[in-house]
Amino acid sequence: MKDLLTRLPTTAALILFAYATIRFLPRLPFSLLVYVIASLAAVEFLRLAGPAIRSLPLILTNGLIVAALFTFPQLPVKEMLAATVILNGLFFLFAVRRSEQLPTFVHDFGVHLAAVFYIFLPLYFMYDLHQLHPNYLFFLILVIAIGDSGAYFVGVAIGRHKIYPVASPKKSLEGLIAAVLTAAPAGWLSLWLFPLPIRPPTAILSAALVGLVSQLSDPVESLFKRAAGAKDSGTLLPGHGGVLDRIDSYIFCAPLLAALAHIVW
């Protein structure tokens, strides 16, 4: 109950903030907003993954490259992503000065790659969706929130079969099925509240898929927390943990919905 009271003001603020920014922000400020959110997530990710050699400026620079290639579609994607990998390599070439730094080098290198490719790249599909139609983001938020709630309540009530005991011991197969079954009508609801140029069956099927993948995206982020022995990714949002905790489902679901919207529909 106390937890709920801590959460409620933050939840209300987040909903208002999301609604206002998605509805009213023009293209470039919205891209900047995604960059800021992804950067906060990357900072928390860096803290969790705990590399011995670390460079936040490097990660933010690489994030800027990702931001640029989404914001200006005429830029060459493959070349610019290769540039982030080369930048990472050159940084480590000069950062590893003592042989005692070698044992953790592969870990550290991997963390900096992951900050680009596991955090910035997937999250920037939120900008992509906003460009296609702002209502795709309302679709994503509604479907994920309702699917999560469905998974939570059904999981607490009748959850028996654990799927990922290490990553998320509380998550169950029953909850996963509930997420799919509640996300599907949420897609229809979203289409009704926030119109999109797609047919209802498409919206319902896509929402079911997003609901499923959301339940898989969240525990992958949890693995990074468990590996660090942390409960939350951060403390920025009272009662909600960190930014990364709030957006862990978007890491897999934003690219999924963008791919569906771009390619399948």
Q: How many CB atoms lie within 10 A of CB 138?
A: 20
99 is an interface residue for its own copies by CB under 8 A: yes
Could you tell me the smallest distance in angstroms from the CB atom of residue 205 to its own copies?
18
Distances (CA, A) of 7 to 2, 16, 103: 9, 14, 41
User: Contact 85/121 with Cβ under 8 angstroms?
Assistant: no
Footprint on residues 138-167 left by its own copies (CB under 8 A): 164-167
Stretch that binds its own copies, among 28-36, 55-63, 104-112, 176-184 (CB under 8 A): 104-112
Which candidate, 74, 78, 76, places its Cα nearest to that of 86?
A: 78
74 is an interface residue for its own copies by CB under 8 A: no
Could you tell me the smallest distance in angstroms from the CB atom of residue 171 to its own copies?
11
216 is an interface residue for its own copies by CB under 8 A: yes
Could you tell me the smallest distance in angstroms from the CB atom of residue 50 to its own copies?
8
Which candidate, 57, 86, 45, places its Cα nearest to that of 247?
A: 45
Determine phi and psi for 238, rounding to 5 degrees: -55, 125
User: Contact 176/162 with Cβ under 8 angstroms?
Assistant: no
Residue numbers of the site for its own copies (CB under 8 A)?
49-50, 69-70, 76-79, 81-83, 85-86, 89-90, 92-94, 96-99, 101-103, 105-107, 109-111, 113-114, 117-118, 121-122, 125, 128, 164-167, 213, 216-217, 219-220, 223-224, 226-227, 251-252, 255-256, 258-259, 262-263
